Chain A
Amino acid sequence: MSVALSRRQAFKVMIGLGSTAASAVLPRTALASTEEHPAHPVAPPEAVAMLYDNTLCTGCKACMPACNEANGLPTDTTLSGGIWDMPMGLNAKTKNIIELYQDPKSDEFAFVKKQCMHCLDPACVTGCPFGSLVKRDLGAVTWNSSLCIGCRYCEVACPFEVPQFQWENWNPKIVKCEFCYDQRLKENLEPACTAACPTGAVIFGKRTDLLAKAKDRITVAPEKYFEQRVYGEHEVGGTQVLYLSSVSFQKIGLPKLGTVSLGHYATKVTSVIYKWLFGPMVMAGVLGFFIRRNWNRHESERLEHEKRTGFPDQL
């Protein structure tokens, strides 16, 4: 026997079911605490890293086709008329790129290799509502297509603007450097870009080793390096791609960032809002107040209308 539902009742049932479903899949990160995301995360001992030194890079771009080949990426030939792989930055077809900084006035120049920085506490992982982006065991930040809903929060969250969205695809994916995790790291191979680099401008190793190596290089020739520091040692809580540069890091497109991890920054807000469901309850209370007020108003109007016309409200 079918239950006769009024329009209003049907809406109520739908809202009830919807909120039950929503609370069942409440975002995981919304419950995360600041203890899980310390302001200055410590890299686990097995964390791997890349060290890029632009005083050694000759701009040969051997890393770019190597990356394309390892990741099965198409070449980006839009600007070159179908001849060369010629991306103008990281995009949906490019996970790794060599860019050139040239000072228009002096003859100062520097190359820079751009790819995912593999932050110790990545903003994209914190921002992802469904856990599609994951920080894997060696520290690689990888993306899982089956969980992605295409919200592109990761694109907004990343301070280095690494995750890229496939606008041309009917079933778009997020394209970002994944440290060749599935392709090579799993098989104890170093990433394709570091394997291809002929000058050792980008090298692969344990993060602690590379950090020590980078500091050695600075000690040996401090005049070669800008600010005598390693970019990525403390930036956004530390990254697993480290940079040494002869020119200012901002000139080669690496943003000036604080030392607090973005995961900590985000959870500092979310952990307060969601503590004991405080935020949602306040929100529900405010909404409830307005609904009740409007409801009472409407009810009195309805009764008045009924009294005046002798007809019940038609709505």
Chain B
Amino acid sequence: MLSALFNSATSLETIDERLLKCGISRRAFLVFCTSLMVAAPYGLAITDKKTPEDVAAGLGKVIRPAVIWLHFQDCTGCTESLLQTSHPGFADLILNVISLEYHETLMAGSGLQARQALEEAVQKYSGKYILVVEGSIPTKDQGIYMKLGGRPALDVLAEIGGKAAAIVAIGSCASWGGIPSADPDPTGAVGVADLLPDKSIVNIPGCPPNPYTMLGVLLQYAANGTLPEADEQRRPKFAFDRDIHEQCPKRAHFDAGNFVKQYGDQGHREGWCLYEMGCKGPDTHAGCSTRHFNEIPDVWPIGIGAPCIGCTEKSIAFKVPMFQVVQLHTIATPPTSYAPITKTLGTISPLATGLVGIAVGTLATAGYVASRKFSKVEDDESAPGNRPPDSGSGDSPKSGPGASV
């Protein structure tokens, strides 16, 4: 991938060249790099440096990757979330760091003009561009539920995705279907990885995802030509390896047993744990609890008093009812309560042994005596084979076997 990018240097310029051309000062660029170091997710190689100068030196040589952004069945929420980034600003990002070739929400042109731009970009950067997909793709009825320039989304993705160097599926919809795939799923919505399983795809689920995750993935790809290490659901590990519940600022309330019972109650006002309101934090892996949105502390669902809906998990968001309480797995008892000492029962006391012995002996004796009594009953007519002694050999019963002979 790296060599492919460098070979195309004739058509793609580095960030340094671009900044020089636009007359952006070195100071402004260093400020940008500093903000990047602060905001970028932990563990990203390109920003994991000691000084902004180091980052600038590395970043300056990066060839601005061409990015084509396609919208399918989406709400444009992911784009909106990306627009809110301020460190670095979105304008900086799309104008200086990446070369955004096509984006339906942000581009000035429309209609034929826009289609031409798309076709040109695909042709020009064929095999080198990054495709960002936002929204799910309908598959039912030959995909007629979503069309782009008269063509079903299925065909568009097959063509443009096939020529992309890498695909970034942003949002839960593009990752695995998201809201459009929720029951009853009228359009048969699926994610990008379901249609192009062999391409190198990064899923950035979330509704919306944290924009810095997107930024981190794009920067690493541009700098090293590699995609970040991903888990089995193709989510980059640097952003999705932690459990919300383990890092939650409200975890102390969970451990202490302080739960919101109803929206607006005293506990809710005090910022208690939302577990009983159906918070999916214990089952959800994402960086939300440590990296909040819009660079404003506590701006994330749980921070503003709404339970986590598990939007980064395929099996939870839009599948499990929003207020259904999730099962916890290996969470220890909270330190506020302990099991009391269980005493072993110890030895059996002689008194108990004696009492049981007496009871058993009484029963056994009673049984013996009863059986003796029973056997002494002699004149029981109903007992089989029992006859009075005087009616002996003379007259035998008619039914007796071999009696007549």
Using CB atoms and an 8 Å cutoff, list the residues of chain A in contact with chain B: 59-62, 64-65, 68-69, 75, 77, 80, 82-90, 97-101, 111-112, 114, 159-161, 251-253, 255, 305, 308-311, 313-314
B341→A65 contact, CB < 8 A:
no
A82→B330 contact, CB < 8 A:
no
B330→A59 contact, CB < 8 A:
no
Q: Does B325 sit at the interface, judged by CB under 8 A?
A: yes
B332→A310 contact, CB < 8 A:
no
In the assembled complex, the Cα of A112 lies from the Cα of B339 at a distance in Å of 10
In the assembled complex, the Cα of A61 lies from the Cα of B255 at a distance in Å of 12
Which of B327, B333, B344 is A253 in contact with, Cβ under 8 Å?
B344
**Chain B facing A: main interface SS:** loop
In the assembled complex, the Cα of A65 lies from the Cα of B345 at a distance in Å of 27
Chain A nearest CB from B348 CB (Å) reads 11
Identify the closest chain A residue to B396 (Cβ): A310
Against A, the Cβ 8 Å flags (1 = close, 0 = not) of B377-405 are 00000001101010011001000111000
In the assembled complex, the Cα of A97 lies from the Cα of B385 at a distance in Å of 67
Chain A nearest CB from B375 CB (Å) reads 10
Which of B342, B385, B387 is A90 in contact with, Cβ under 8 Å?
B342
Identify the closest chain A residue to B282 (Cβ): A83
Chain A residues lying within 8 Å of B385, measured Cβ to Cβ, are 305, 313-314
Against A, the Cβ 8 Å flags (1 = close, 0 = not) of B213-257 are 000000000000000000000000000000000000000000000
CB contact list, B316-342 vs A, under 8 A: 325, 327-335, 337-342
Chain B residues lying within 8 Å of A77, measured Cβ to Cβ, are 328
In the assembled complex, the Cα of A311 lies from the Cα of B65 at a distance in Å of 113
Chain B nearest CB from A11 CB (Å) reads 21
A64→B333 contact, CB < 8 A:
yes
Most buried by A among B328, B338, B343: B338
B330→A68 contact, CB < 8 A:
yes
Given A65-B330, A308-B393, verify A88-B342 contact (CB < 8 Å): yes
Chain A nearest CB from B371 CB (Å) reads 12
Chain B nearest CB from A72 CB (Å) reads 10
In the assembled complex, the Cα of A195 lies from the Cα of B325 at a distance in Å of 32
In the assembled complex, the Cα of A7 lies from the Cα of B112 at a distance in Å of 101
In the assembled complex, the Cα of A255 lies from the Cα of B344 at a distance in Å of 7
Identify the closest chain B residue to A311 (Cβ): B400
16 CB contacts below 8 A, A to B, read A75-B328, A75-B330, A75-B331, A84-B334, A85-B330, A87-B339, A88-B339, A89-B339, A98-B338, A98-B339, A99-B338, A99-B339, A101-B340, A114-B342, A308-B392, A308-B393
B344→A159 contact, CB < 8 A:
yes
In the assembled complex, the Cα of A90 lies from the Cα of B343 at a distance in Å of 11
Most buried by B among A83, A161, A313: A83
In the assembled complex, the Cα of A75 lies from the Cα of B327 at a distance in Å of 10
Chain A residues lying within 8 Å of B337, measured Cβ to Cβ, are 86
Q: Does B275 sit at the interface, judged by CB under 8 A?
A: yes
Q: Does B354 sit at the interface, judged by CB under 8 A?
A: no
Identify the closest chain B residue to A94 (Cβ): B339
Q: Does B346 sit at the interface, judged by CB under 8 A?
A: yes
B339→A84 contact, CB < 8 A:
no
B333→A61 contact, CB < 8 A:
yes
Identify the closest chain A residue to B328 (Cβ): A83
Most buried by B among A75, A84, A101, A253: A84
Chain B residues lying within 8 Å of A159, measured Cβ to Cβ, are 344
In the assembled complex, the Cα of A89 lies from the Cα of B334 at a distance in Å of 16
Identify the closest chain A residue to B276 (Cβ): A83
Interface pairs A-B: 4 shortest CB-CB: A100-B338, A89-B342, A253-B341, A61-B332
Chain A residues lying within 8 Å of B387, measured Cβ to Cβ, are 308-309
In the assembled complex, the Cα of A88 lies from the Cα of B339 at a distance in Å of 5
What size tier do the contact residues of chain B reach? 20 to 34
Chain B nearest CB from A24 CB (Å) reads 32
In the assembled complex, the Cα of A61 lies from the Cα of B387 at a distance in Å of 79
In the assembled complex, the Cα of A88 lies from the Cα of B337 at a distance in Å of 11
A85→B332 contact, CB < 8 A:
yes
Chain A nearest CB from B356 CB (Å) reads 15
Which of A83, A161, A314 is B275 in contact with, Cβ under 8 Å?
A83
B340→A100 contact, CB < 8 A:
yes
In the assembled complex, the Cα of A252 lies from the Cα of B328 at a distance in Å of 30
Chain B nearest CB from A235 CB (Å) reads 12
A160→B344 contact, CB < 8 A:
yes
In the assembled complex, the Cα of A101 lies from the Cα of B241 at a distance in Å of 39
Which of A59, A255, A309 is B393 in contact with, Cβ under 8 Å?
A309
Chain B residues lying within 8 Å of A313, measured Cβ to Cβ, are 385
In the assembled complex, the Cα of A85 lies from the Cα of B334 at a distance in Å of 9
A97→B344 contact, CB < 8 A:
no
Identify the closest chain A residue to B393 (Cβ): A310
Which of A60, A85, A101 is B341 in contact with, Cβ under 8 Å?
A101
In the assembled complex, the Cα of A313 lies from the Cα of B325 at a distance in Å of 75
In the assembled complex, the Cα of A88 lies from the Cα of B343 at a distance in Å of 12
Known contacts A161-B344, A308-B393, A309-B387; 8 additional CB pairs below 8 A are A65-B330, A65-B331, A75-B330, A89-B339, A114-B342, A308-B387, A308-B392, A314-B384
A251→B341 contact, CB < 8 A:
yes
B331→A85 contact, CB < 8 A:
yes
A253→B343 contact, CB < 8 A:
yes
Chain B residues lying within 8 Å of A69, measured Cβ to Cβ, are 330
B328→A84 contact, CB < 8 A:
yes
Most buried by B among A97, A159, A309, A313: A309
Which of A99, A255, A309, A310 is B346 in contact with, Cβ under 8 Å?
A255
Given A69-B330, A82-B327, A309-B387, verify A61-B342 contact (CB < 8 Å): no
Chain B nearest CB from A49 CB (Å) reads 21
Most buried by A among B334, B342, B345, B389: B342
In the assembled complex, the Cα of A305 lies from the Cα of B389 at a distance in Å of 10
Which of B335, B341, B402 is A61 in contact with, Cβ under 8 Å?
B335
Identify the closest chain B residue to A58 (Cβ): B335
In the assembled complex, the Cα of A68 lies from the Cα of B333 at a distance in Å of 12
In the assembled complex, the Cα of A252 lies from the Cα of B339 at a distance in Å of 12
B341→A112 contact, CB < 8 A:
yes
Chain B nearest CB from A197 CB (Å) reads 13
A82→B339 contact, CB < 8 A:
no
In the assembled complex, the Cα of A7 lies from the Cα of B345 at a distance in Å of 48
Identify the closest chain B residue to A253 (Cβ): B341
Given A75-B328, A77-B328, A314-B385, verify A84-B333 contact (CB < 8 Å): yes
Chain B residues lying within 8 Å of A90, measured Cβ to Cβ, are 342
Chain B residues lying within 8 Å of A112, measured Cβ to Cβ, are 341
Against A, the Cβ 8 Å flags (1 = close, 0 = not) of B126-159 are 0000000000000000000000000000000000
